[in-house]
């Protein structure tokens, strides 16, 4: 049994009278410790997949399993607990609390979960030991994203979900973030899932899931993923 | 094109409204509240005044009232009627009386009512009474029953019902400010209806009077017939032409009225002197009439007196005649009496002589008879002695007669002599025996002597023999021995010489033996003789015994026999004596017989004498009776004469007494008549003096500002005005802040849009106009709605509240909306909102489009002061840190929330504080300050004795304690003669030290006791506050007249203390200090005391006190307290109003704040949710900030509320009471907690909005 399993997962939105099938029968598996890249064009349903996997959204039908938990069957409260203890999120726009310093933003997450990592260590790990007491507004975009990653990691989640983590960043910074994510996966053995429209990212992945029109069009594994810094796009 | 654009623009606005309805409604709501409150409160006062005006005009209430100390007549009314500017005139009579209504006794104003006009009047609605009669002023509404008709019918007010008094009951008038005899025909009135009069709009007091507690507690109308015929009008009511065109109390109204007032005041001197002339003429007529009457009466009395005098003199003369006649009669009588006495004496003398002779004859006869009887008696005695002697003798002798006795005695004599001979023989025999015995004894003695001598001889012999050696023991032996010895000797041959002694001895011995023989013989003979004697004796004794003589021996027999013979001898002698006696008896018998015959003769002679004497006496008695008869007849004649004389004397004395009585009566009558006449003369003189001294009457022209009810109502409406000017300020401030924050947020939301518009070339003002339109629309709608609703609701609630104490009817809904006020408040509300909006927009609009197009750099986090305190800060959780930083990051929101919430708390605190303040009046006054619960007031003219009697009654019930006496005066206080004055009750305790029993004098702050002695002057706090008086300052007390105007220049007193007090204005003055006001010793005719609680006890006490004539008032504080409670419940409605508005305020502010906070932090909230924050954690994250702000506002609200409450309390206060000045702790607690409850409710209501924040949607977009 795989670490993550999607079995016939569907997600239908009702926009007025129109039914939109964002995900229509998604099937794939991910193994523990893999760096997974979910790739596809805009509107293919990749973010929906991520949201459902992260417990932010629920599937209309089908089964989502994570480490033996049937996520698709969880109620609202259990989903909250699931997000709280098992999942780390990294967003395109960082979503830091403006009124808290870098360290406090990390603590915000670590304070609520059961087995957190020391906030300062995690920040140091992402290379921000010197900016810990700065407010988000005082940090660059890359730095803010690092804080966001640190915040996700500090929770010591089972799965790190990243939605276009480099989307708002320039090329170099993006690469560094990507590198950070890859390193994190390698060094901590955490399963990391990155959603992107950038096919270049597939080079660094252990497993690549191509999503098209709400389905996993193609799932491939990459026996020799490239180093993030070498990737060009 | 422009229209199209305008339409597009309008659409944008409409769309933005729809998109942010909450925000729109917040502005709308707060502006509605602010404007509505402002307008509503501002209109309340005018609405109240309008309602009053409507009532006043509708009932044709007087504009001016003329009052004269001498009253008015029809002539005066005519004089006044001529004055220019008078539209209606109505004279009336009224008087203030103490009346008994059911269980109560209170001051009542009785006024005349134009009954015909009243009956013809037609009530229209609550405020109008139509009447064709323009001179029917002060029209009255009939609520129940009918109008009064007869002189003893009345109508009472329906506005202040008295327990148990209604249509059909009777009321009693006790006394009044003037002598009721001059005013009222009746004292008891039947209540036939209940009315309401616009003249008395204030039920708290229908006016002031000098009676009772000083307040008129009830009013009544009666028909003019109830007043005596010539009672003058006491007042003239006037309507001023044109005055009704203006609102009562307004300047324009006052100006119109003042014009006529001036005119009337100019004519008052003339009016006064005319009135004086009338009154004086009338009075002079009365005096003259009196004088005439006096003269006739005087003459009549003199006539009557003269008649009486004449009659008395006649009587005196008659008496003197009678006296003379009586004296003559007496002397005649005396003469007759002397003659009779003389005759009687003579007759008596003659009769006495005759009687004396008779008496001496009788006496002699009696003496002889007595002597005779004495002889007869002696004879009887002698016979008796003889008979008894004879009988004794015969009895002794056992004989029948003397002869027999003689014979017996002789026989006895012989017998006795024989006995004596026998006795003597026996005596001889006995004597011989005695003698023989004697001889025997002698012989014996000799024999014994012989024997003794023999024995001596023998012993000598024997002793001699023994000496010779011969042992012998008896004579025989001796003889034998001696013979032998002789024989021997002889034999032996011894010489005879030798033999001689022996022979001698032998002879002796032989002699002795012979002697012995002789002696023995003699003794034998003696014994024989003795036995012979004894035999003889025995025989004798036996003989004697046979004769009856017992003797032991012969000698005794001798003696006895001798005796016997002696006895026999004396017996003989006796017998001889007896014989001699018998002889004597026989001679006595003969003598007795002779004497008895002589006595019989004597007796016969005496009886003859007696018969002769009796005949003589009979004759004498006849003669005497005759003499006496004659004398008695004469005496009878004399006695008759005496009786007649006595009668005459008695009659004369009666006559004399009658005469004396008559004289005294006459004198008394004369004195009385003189006194009465003198009195009448004095009264006439007094009356004349009064007429001469009659002064010009004081005539007052009083407008409505002098009517207590109208003024109180007007003042209350002005109080609302002043409150209205303060309260809404807070609402406006809050609405400005709400608009500012809301619009700021809106502009920030629209940042990119604004940039786009700018980039498209829209002008700044064009862009800003969207927001101004938005805010304008919201605020204008709010203002309109708020003003429309609250200008109805607020005045309605306020006037309804006041209708508890005022009879002014509610203005019928809808209430008029004052356009000026509406525009002003609406303009203010909208204007403030627009200014705030402009301020919010203008900052963003200054930026260049490029910046605007970019997402706005998130407001940077800022370190706050608290972070410098490491230990504290480190301990805070991240969400607390966020909260703290946020609090200082959004200053406008902080201001809005704090102001809004503090406003809410302040409103609540004002509400509760007002409630406290008002209930403190009662709770603070009755108990802590006033300890008595019963006040008994006596008439002004009550004396010490009257008061003592009432106290006795009180003490007698056993239900009353703590009795204290004070003098109570209704006066006015001020600081000088010109400034405004305050009605006060001056209380002079009889003893300063006793005051503490019924009242505690203390300062309000700190409750320090205030010393009170006989020279103290303590004023209550309200007076001190009004005039800024502190201990040491002076206060002026003014006397007042019956109408309530100041008299004189007042009395200055130095204030020694300021005491806590809530109800009424009191001045406590010590006795010494009071002397500066009034030298006269007060009676202390008001009694304060405590009565056992209980309805029945009080009712009993009240009825007992009513029996006391002098009691004018009996007031139980409980009743006063209930009255106040009723009046003060007005406040509760206001409190509810304040709580509701406070709730609205809190809701709008918090709703808006929460709304803004949530909208602004949607991403933050979504992030938290993604991070796995539970719902509760998310609420806490957001609400903590709001809660903190709310608590901050709440705390500030306490301070604001305290200030505001004190403003409202001092503004709303009326002259008569002082509200409590402290807000109670529970009120703070309630306000604090209720505010927090509002906050909690808003938070609960806003939870769904937080729940609706969608993670996915929120995180997608850029902010």
Per-residue pLDDT, B1153:
80
Looking at this predicted complex, what is its ipTM?
0.90
DSSP states along B997-1055: HHB--B-TTTT-B----TT-EEEEHHHHHHHT--TTSEEEEEEE-TTS-EEEEEEEEE-
pLDDT tens digits, one per residue of A22-70: 888 888 888 888 888 888 887 778 888 888 888 888 888 888 888 888 8
**Model confidence at B449: pLDDT above 50:** yes
Average pLDDT of the segment spanning B899-907: 86
Per-residue pLDDT, B4:
43
**Model confidence at B1176: pLDDT above 50:** yes
Q: Confidence class of residue B1 from pLDDT cuts 50, 70 and 90?
A: very low
pLDDT tens digits, one per residue of B951-978: 888 888 888 888 888 988 888 888 876 6
Q: Is residue B1068 part of a domain?
A: yes
The domain segmentation of chain A, as residue ranges, is 4-230
Contact yes or no for B860 and A135 at CB 8 A: yes
Closest CA in chain A for residue B1254: A56
Task: Answer whether B971's CB lies under 8 Å from B1103's CB.
Answer: no
Tell me if chain A has a CB within 8 Å of the CB of B1253. Answer: no
- Considering only CB atoms, B1172 lies closest to which of A81, A93, A95, namely A81
Closest CA in chain A for residue B1163: A95
Contact yes or no for A93 and B1173 at CB 8 A: no
Contact yes or no for B1174 and A80 at CB 8 A: yes
Cα separation, B1050 vs B1045, whole angstroms = 12
Tell me if chain A has a CB within 8 Å of the CB of B1180. Answer: no
Query: Strand B86-92's sheet: what is its strand order?
Result: B86-92, B233-240, B64-72, B699-703
Cα separation, B993 vs B1012, whole angstroms = 7
Tell me if chain A has a CB within 8 Å of the CB of B316. Answer: no
**Model confidence at B850: pLDDT above 70:** no
- Considering only CB atoms, A100 lies closest to which of B882, B1170, B1171, namely B882
Q: Which two tokens stand for residue B1187?
A: 């809660």
Name the domain boundary from B1078, B1109, B1140.
Answer: B1109
Closest CA in chain A for residue B855: A93
Q: Please report residues of B whose CB lies closer than 8 A to that of A97.
A: 882, 1164, 1167
- Number of Cβ within 10 Å of residue B599's Cβ equals 16
Q: Is residue B589 part of a domain?
A: no
pLDDT tens digits, one per residue of B631-679: 888 888 888 888 888 888 888 888 888 888 888 888 888 888 888 888 8
The whole-angstrom distance between residue B864's C-alpha and the CA centroid of its chain comes to 76
Closest CA in chain A for residue B1258: A95
End-to-end CA separation in angstroms for chain B: 35
Q: Please report residues of B whose CB lies closer than 8 A to that of A109.
A: 1171
Q: Confidence class of residue B1195 from pLDDT cuts 50, 70 and 90?
A: very high
* B723–chain A nearest CA distance, Å: 44
SS3 B1093: coil
Contact yes or no for A137 and B858 at CB 8 A: yes
Tell me if chain A has a CB within 8 Å of the CB of B1252. Answer: no
Contact yes or no for A112 and B860 at CB 8 A: no
Q: Which residues contact B1232 (CB under 8 A, 6 or more apart)?
A: B905, B1194, B1198
Contact yes or no for A109 and B1171 at CB 8 A: yes
**Model confidence at B890: pLDDT above 60:** yes
Name the domain boundary from B554, B577, B606.
Answer: B554
Q: Confidence class of residue B1261 from pLDDT cuts 50, 70 and 90?
A: low
Three-point CA angle B660, B666, B668, nearest 5° = 105
Contact yes or no for A98 and B1259 at CB 8 A: no
Residue to mutate among B1167, B1176, B1178, B1252, with most A CBs inside 10 A, is B1167
* B1174–chain A nearest CA distance, Å: 6
Per-residue pLDDT, B3:
42
Q: Confidence class of residue B708 from pLDDT cuts 50, 70 and 90?
A: confident
pLDDT tens digits, one per residue of B735-783: 878 888 888 888 877 877 788 888 787 887 888 888 888 888 889 999 9
Q: Please report residues of B whose CB lies closer than 8 A to that of A56.
A: 1170, 1255-1256
**Model confidence at B852: pLDDT above 70:** no
State the total domains in chain B.
2
Tell me if chain A has a CB within 8 Å of the CB of B393. Answer: no
Average pLDDT of the segment spanning B387-407: 78
pTM over 0.80: no
Average pLDDT of the segment spanning A90-103: 82
Average pLDDT of the segment spanning B906-926: 84
* B27–chain A nearest CA distance, Å: 28
Closest CA in chain A for residue B1164: A97
Contact yes or no for A100 and B857 at CB 8 A: no
Phi and psi torsions of B936, nearest 5°: -115, 120
Contact yes or no for B860 and A98 at CB 8 A: yes
- Considering only CB atoms, B886 lies closest to which of A89, A96, A99, namely A99
**Model confidence at B192: pLDDT above 90:** yes
Q: Please report residues of A whose CB lies closer than 8 A to that of B1184.
A: none
Contact yes or no for A87 and B1164 at CB 8 A: no
- Considering only CB atoms, B877 lies closest to which of A96, A101, A111, namely A111
Per-residue pLDDT, B849:
66
pLDDT tens digits, one per residue of B137-191: 889 999 889 999 888 999 998 888 777 788 888 898 888 877 888 888 888 999 9
Burial letters for B38-64: b for 16+ Cβ neighbours within 10 Å, e otherwise? Answer: bbbbbbbbbbbbbbbbbbbbbbbbbbb
Closest CA in chain B for residue A164: B1260
* A200–chain B nearest CA distance, Å: 23
- Considering only CB atoms, A99 lies closest to which of B882, B1167, B1177, namely B882
- Considering only CB atoms, A95 lies closest to which of B859, B1163, B1175, namely B1163
Average pLDDT of the segment spanning B327-343: 86
Closest CA in chain A for residue B1171: A84
Task: Answer whether A119's CB lies under 8 Å from B1212's CB.
Answer: no
Percent of chain B with pLDDT over 70: 96
Residue to mutate among A45, A49, A98, with most B CBs inside 10 A, is A98
* A99–chain B nearest CA distance, Å: 4
Burial letters for B1083-1112: b for 16+ Cβ neighbours within 10 Å, e otherwise? Answer: bbbbbbbbbeeeeeebeebbebbeebebbb
Give the count of Cβ contacts less than 8 A between chain A and B.
86
* A66–chain B nearest CA distance, Å: 17
Rounded-to-10 torsion of CA B1230, B1232, B1237, B1243: 170
Contact yes or no for B1170 and A95 at CB 8 A: yes
Range of the domain at B1042: 940-1109
SS3 B989: strand
**Residue (of B9, B31, B6, B12) closest to B738 by Cα position:** B31
Tell me if chain A has a CB within 8 Å of the CB of B143. Answer: no
**Model confidence at A215: pLDDT above 90:** no
Contact yes or no for A89 and B1262 at CB 8 A: no
Contact yes or no for A95 and B861 at CB 8 A: no
Q: Is residue B651 part of a domain?
A: no
* B10–chain A nearest CA distance, Å: 26
* B1258–chain A nearest CA distance, Å: 10
Per-residue pLDDT, B391:
82
Per-residue pLDDT, B286:
83
Instruction: Report chain B's mean pLDDT, rounded to a whole number.
Output: 83
Q: Which two tokens stand for residue B996?
A: 């503490």
* B884–chain A nearest CA distance, Å: 10
Task: Answer whether B1219's CB lies under 8 Å from B917's CB.
Answer: yes
pLDDT tens digits, one per residue of A157-197: 888 888 888 877 788 888 888 888 888 888 888 888 888 88
Q: Please report residues of A whose CB lies closer than 8 A to that of B859.
A: 98, 137
Percent of chain B with pLDDT over 90: 6
Across A90-94, B130-134, B472-476, least confident range: B472-476
Q: Please report residues of B whose CB lies closer than 8 A to that of A140.
A: none
pLDDT tens digits, one per residue of B29-53: 888 888 888 888 888 888 888 888 8
Per-residue pLDDT, B2:
44
Per-residue pLDDT, B212:
66
Q: Please report residues of B whose CB lies closer than 8 A to that of A51.
A: 1255-1256
Closest CA in chain A for residue B1177: A112
**Model confidence at A225: pLDDT above 90:** no
Cα separation, B1222 vs B916, whole angstroms = 8
Q: Please report residues of B whose CB lies closer than 8 A to that of A104.
A: 878, 881
**Model confidence at A20: pLDDT above 90:** no
Tell me if chain A has a CB within 8 Å of the CB of B859. Answer: yes
Q: Confidence class of residue B1228 from pLDDT cuts 50, 70 and 90?
A: very high
Closest CA in chain B for residue A48: B1256
Q: Confidence class of residue B91 from pLDDT cuts 50, 70 and 90?
A: very high
Per-residue pLDDT, B1199:
92
Name the domain boundary from B554, B585, B611.
Answer: B554
pLDDT tens digits, one per residue of A114-141: 788 888 888 888 888 888 888 888 888 8
Average pLDDT of the segment spanning B434-454: 87
Fold of A4-230: Rossmann fold (3.40.50)
Q: DSSP label at A16?
A: T
């Amino acid at each position: 049994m795989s670490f993550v399993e999607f079995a016939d997962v569907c997600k239908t939105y009702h926009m007025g009278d129109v039914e939109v099938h964002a995900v229509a029968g998604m099937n794939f598996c991910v193994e523990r410790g893999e760096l997974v890249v979910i790739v596809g064009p805009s509107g293919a349903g990749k973010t929906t997949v991520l949201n459902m996997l992260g417990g932010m959204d629920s599937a209309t039908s089908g089964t989502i399993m994570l480490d033996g938990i049937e996520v698709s069957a969880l109620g609202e409260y259990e989903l909250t607990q699931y997000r709280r203890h098992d999942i780390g999120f990294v967003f395109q726009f960082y979503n830091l609390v403006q009124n808290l310093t870098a360290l406090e933003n990390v603590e915000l997450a670590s304070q609520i979960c059961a087995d957190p990592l020391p906030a300062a260590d995690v920040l140091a790990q992402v290379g921000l030991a010197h900016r810990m007491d700065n407010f988000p507004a005082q940090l660059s975009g890359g730095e803010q994203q690092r804080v966001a990653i640190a915040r996700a990691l500090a929770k010591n989640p089972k799965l790190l979900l990243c939605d276009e983590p480099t989307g708002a960043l320039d090329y170099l910074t993006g690469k560094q973030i990507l590198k950070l994510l890859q390193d994190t996966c390698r060094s901590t053995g955490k399963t990391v899932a990155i959603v992107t429209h950038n096919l270049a990212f597939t080079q660094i992945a252990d497993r690549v899931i191509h999503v098209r029109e709400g389905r996993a069009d193609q799932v491939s594994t990459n026996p020799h993923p490239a180093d993030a810094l070498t990737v060009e796009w | 094109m422009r229209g199209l654009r305008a339409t597009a623009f309008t659409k944008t606005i409409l769309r933005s409204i729809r998109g942010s309805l909450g925000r729109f409604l917040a502005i709308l709501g707060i502006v509605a509240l602010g404007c509505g409150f402002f307008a509503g409160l501002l209109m309340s006062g005018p609405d109240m005044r309008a309602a009053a005006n409507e009532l006043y005009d509708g009932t044709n209430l007087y504009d001016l009232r003329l009052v004269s100390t001498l009253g008015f007549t029809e002539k005066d009314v005519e004089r006044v009627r001529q004055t220019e500017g008078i539209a209606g005139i109505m004279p009336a009579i009224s008087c203030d009386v103490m009346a008994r209504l059911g269980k109560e006794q209170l001051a009542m104003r009785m006024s005349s009512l134009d009954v015909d006009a009243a009956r013809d009047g037609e009530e229209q609605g609550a405020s109008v009474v139509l009447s064709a009669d323009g001179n029917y002023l002060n029209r009255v509404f009939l609520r129940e029953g009918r109008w009064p008709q007869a002189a003893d019918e009345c109508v009472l007010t329906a506005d202040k019902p008295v327990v148990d008094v209604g249509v059909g009951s009777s009321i009693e008038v006790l006394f009044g400010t003037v002598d009721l005899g001059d005013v009222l025909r009746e004292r008891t009135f039947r209540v036939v209806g209940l009315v309401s009069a616009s003249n008395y709009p204030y039920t708290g007091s229908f006016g002031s009077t000098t009676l009772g507690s000083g307040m008129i507690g009830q009013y009544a109308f009666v028909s003019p017939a109830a007043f005596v015929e010539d009672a003058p009008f006491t007042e003239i009511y006037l309507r001023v032409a044109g005055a009704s065109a203006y609102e009562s109390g307004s300047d324009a109204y006052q100006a119109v009225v003042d014009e006529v007032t001036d005119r009337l005041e100019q004519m008052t001197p003339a009016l006064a002197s005319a009135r004086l002339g009338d009154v004086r003429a009338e009075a002079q007529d009365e005096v003259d009439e009196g004088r005439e009457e006096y003269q006739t009466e005087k003459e009549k009395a003199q006539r009557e007196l003269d008649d009486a005098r004449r009659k008395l003199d006649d009587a005196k003369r008659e008496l003197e005649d009678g006296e003379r006649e009586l004296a003559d009669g007496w002397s005649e009588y005396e003469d007759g009496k002397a003659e009779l006495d003389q005759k009687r004496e003579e007759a008596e003398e003659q009769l006495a002589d005759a009687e004396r002779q008779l008496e001496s004859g009788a006496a002699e006869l009696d003496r002889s008879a007595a002597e005779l009887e004495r002889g007869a008696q002696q004879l009887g005695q002698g016979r008796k002695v003889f008979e008894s002697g004879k009988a004794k003798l015969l009895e002794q002798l056992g004989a029948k007669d003397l002869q027999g006795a003689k014979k017996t005695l002789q026989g006895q004599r012989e017998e006795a002599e024989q006995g004596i001979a026998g006795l003597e023989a026996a005596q001889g025999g006995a004597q011989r025996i005695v003698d023989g015995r004697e001889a025997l004894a002698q012989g014996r003695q000799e024999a014994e002597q012989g024997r003794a001598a023999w024995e001596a001889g023998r012993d000598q012999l024997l002793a001699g023999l023994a000496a010779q050696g011969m042992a012998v023991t008896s004579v025989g032996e001796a003889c034998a021995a001696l013979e032998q010895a002789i024989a021997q000797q002889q034999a032996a041959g011894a010489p005879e010489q030798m033999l001689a002694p022996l022979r001698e001895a032998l002879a002796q011995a032989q002699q002795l033996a012979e002697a012995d023989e002789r002696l023995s013989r003699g003794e034998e003979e003696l014994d024989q003789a003795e036995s012979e004697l004894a035999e003889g004796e025995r025989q004798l004794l036996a003989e004697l015994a046979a004769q009856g003589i017992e003797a032991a021996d012969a000698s005794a027999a001798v003696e006895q026999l001798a005796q016997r013979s002696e006895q026999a001898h004396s017996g003989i002698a006796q017998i001889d004596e007896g014989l001699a006696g018998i002889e004597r008896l026989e001679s006595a018998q003969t003598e007795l017989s002779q004497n008895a015959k002589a006595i019989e003769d004597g007796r016969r002679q005496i009886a003859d004498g007696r018969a002769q004497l009796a005949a003589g006496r009979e004759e004498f008695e006849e003669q005497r009776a005759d003499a006496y008869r004659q004398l008695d007849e004469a005496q009878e004649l004399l006695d008759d004469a005496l009786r007649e004389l006595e009668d005459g004397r008695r009659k004369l004395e009666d006559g004399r007494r009658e005469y004396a009585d008559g004289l005294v009566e006459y004198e008394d009558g004369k004195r009385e008549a003189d006194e009465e006449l003198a009195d009448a003369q004095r009264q006439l003189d007094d009356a004349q003096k009064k007429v001469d001294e009659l002064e010009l009457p004081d005539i007052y022209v009083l407008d409505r500002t002098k009517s207590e009810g109208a003024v109180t109502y007007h003042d209350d409406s002005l109080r609302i005005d002043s409150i209205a000017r303060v309260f809404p300020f807070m609402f406006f401030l809050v609405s400005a802040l709400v608009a500012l924050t809301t619009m700021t947020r809106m502009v920030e939301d629209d940042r990119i849009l604004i940039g786009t518009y700018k980039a498209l070339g829209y002008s700044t003002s064009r862009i800003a106009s969207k927001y101004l339109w938005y805010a304008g629309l919201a605020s204008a709608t709010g203002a309109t709605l708020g003003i429309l609703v609250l200008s109805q609701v607020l005045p309605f609630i306020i006037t309804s509240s006041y209708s508890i104490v005022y009879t002014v009817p509610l203005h019928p809904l809808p209430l008029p909306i004052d356009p000026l006020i509406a525009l002003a408040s609406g303009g203010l509300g909208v204007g403030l909102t627009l200014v705030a909006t402009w301020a919010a927009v203008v900052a963003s609009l200054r930026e260049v489009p490029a910046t605007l197009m970019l997402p706005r750099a998130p407001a940077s986090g800022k370190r706050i002061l608290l972070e410098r305190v490491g230990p504290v800060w480190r301990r805070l959780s991240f969400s607390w840190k966020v909260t703290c930083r946020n609090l200082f990051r959004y200053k406008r929101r902080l201001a809005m929330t704090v102001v809004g919430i503090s406003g809410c708390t302040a409103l609540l605190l004002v509400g509760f504080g007002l409630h406290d303040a008002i209930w403190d009046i009662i709770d603070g006054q009755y108990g802590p300050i006033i300890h008595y619960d019963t006040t008994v007031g006596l008439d002004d003219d009550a004396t010490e004795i009257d008061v003592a009697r009432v106290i006795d009654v009180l003490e007698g019930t056993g239900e009353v304690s703590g009795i204290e006496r004070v003098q109570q005066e209704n006066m006015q206080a001020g600081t000088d003669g010109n400034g405004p004055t305050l009605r006060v009750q001056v209380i002079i305790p009889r003893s300063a030290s006793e005051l503490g029993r019924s009242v505690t004098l203390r300062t309000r702050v700190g409750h320090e006791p205030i010393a009170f002695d006989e020279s103290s002057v303590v004023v209550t706090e309200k007076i001190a506050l009004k005039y800024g008086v502190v201990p040491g300052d002076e206060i002026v007390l003014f006397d007042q007249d019956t109408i309530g105007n100041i008299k004189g220049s007042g009395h200055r007193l130095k204030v020694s203390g300021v005491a806590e007090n809530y109800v009424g204005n009191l001045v406590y003055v010590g006795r010494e200090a009071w002397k500066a006001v009034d030298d006269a010793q007060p009676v202390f005719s008001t009694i304060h005391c405590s009565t056992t609680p209980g309805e029945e006890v009080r009712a009993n006490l009240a009825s007992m006190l009513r029996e006391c004539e002098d009691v004018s008032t009996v007031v139980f504080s409980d009743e006063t307290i209930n009255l106040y409670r009723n009046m003060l419940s007005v406040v509760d409605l206001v409190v509810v109003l304040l709580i509701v508005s406070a709730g609205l305020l809190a809701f709008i502010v918090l709703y808006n704040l929460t709304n803004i906070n949530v909208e602004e932090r949607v991403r933050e909230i979504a992030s938290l949710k993604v991070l796995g924050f539970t719902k509760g954690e998310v609420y806490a994250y957001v609400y903590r900030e709001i809660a903190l702000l709310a608590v901050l506002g709440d705390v500030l609200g306490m301070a604001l509320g305290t200030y505001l409450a004190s403003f409202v309390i001092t503004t709303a206060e009326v002259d008569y009471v002082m509200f409590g000045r402290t807000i109670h702790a529970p009120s703070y607690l309630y306000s604090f907690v209720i505010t927090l409850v509002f906050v909690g409710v808003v938070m609960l209501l806003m939870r769904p909005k937080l729940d609706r924040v969608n993670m996915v949607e929120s995180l997608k977009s850029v902010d």
